[in-house]
Amino acid sequence: MRIVIAEDSVLLREGLTRLLTEAGHEVPAAEGDGEKFLRAVAAHTPDAVVVDVRMPPTFTDEGLRAALVVRDRWPDVGVLVLSQWVEERYAIELISGRPHGVGYLLKDRVADVSEFLDALDRVATGGSALDPEVVAQLLARSRHPLGELTPREREVLALMAEGRSNSAIAEALVVGGGAVEKHINNIFTKLGLAPADRDHRRVLAVLRYLGSG
């Protein structure tokens, strides 16, 4: 994959570049601010971008705004946003326009290299990746009661919202694929959501339900 990076800390920019090249990806550009980053995306049309939320000059949500531009202008480019802090509100802003091909993770997650690469892969191929912390916030702020769900079903719902596939959920919970499917069907029935077959449509349904539904 070809990946463009926007990260203002030199240390992390170099580290990310090295991590991605070592994993066999190509990094044609790694920039330190939003404008240069957008120019690089226009020049290289990568498969995915990795963007830090806080960047100069304002050091507030520059990166998030740059990510939203990429999301809207280049629908085929996967957008993975990294941040020192994750907030449900930013996730909703990111997801509301295009719920597929986007991801929002804590920067710390880079430390688990294989999981991070997996998430980037999902984002680049039209899936999604949401940080467990964001999902916890979404569940806490859910505008619908989740009281009918069993604890296990809540776990499955959280993993679904993170953007994981059935097999990944099964692996994380150490259960069989059939059990996961059964839980998912129960969740959809209890929450009154229309059954959806493809992974990202399912995530979309869940996020809509939790965030703004």
Among 27, 137, 158, 161, binds another protein (CB under 8 A): 137
For the CB of residue 34, give the shortest distance to another protein in the complex, in Å.
15
Amino acid at 60: T
Among 54, 71, 164, 183, binds another protein (CB under 8 A): 54
What part of residues 60-119 is at the interface with another protein (CB under 8 A)? 60-61, 84-85, 87-90, 106-108, 111-112
Of the pair 117, 196, the CB lying nearest another protein is at 117
Max Cα-Cα span within the chain: 50
User: Binders of another protein: how many residues, by CB under 8 A?
Assistant: 21
Cα–Cα distance between 37 and 70 in angstroms, integer? Answer: 10
For the CB of residue 111, give the shortest distance to another protein in the complex, in Å.
5
- Work out whether 181 is an interface residue with another protein (CB under 8 A): no
For the CB of residue 89, give the shortest distance to another protein in the complex, in Å.
4
For the CB of residue 141, give the shortest distance to another protein in the complex, in Å.
5
Contacts for 86 with CB less than 8 Å, ≥ 6 apart? 104, 105, 106, 131, 133, 134, 137
Cα–Cα distance between 166 and 150 in angstroms, integer? Answer: 18
Cα–Cα distance between 1 and 114 in angstroms, integer? Answer: 15
Residues that bind another protein (CB under 8 A): 54, 60-61, 84-85, 87-90, 106-108, 111-112, 133, 136-141
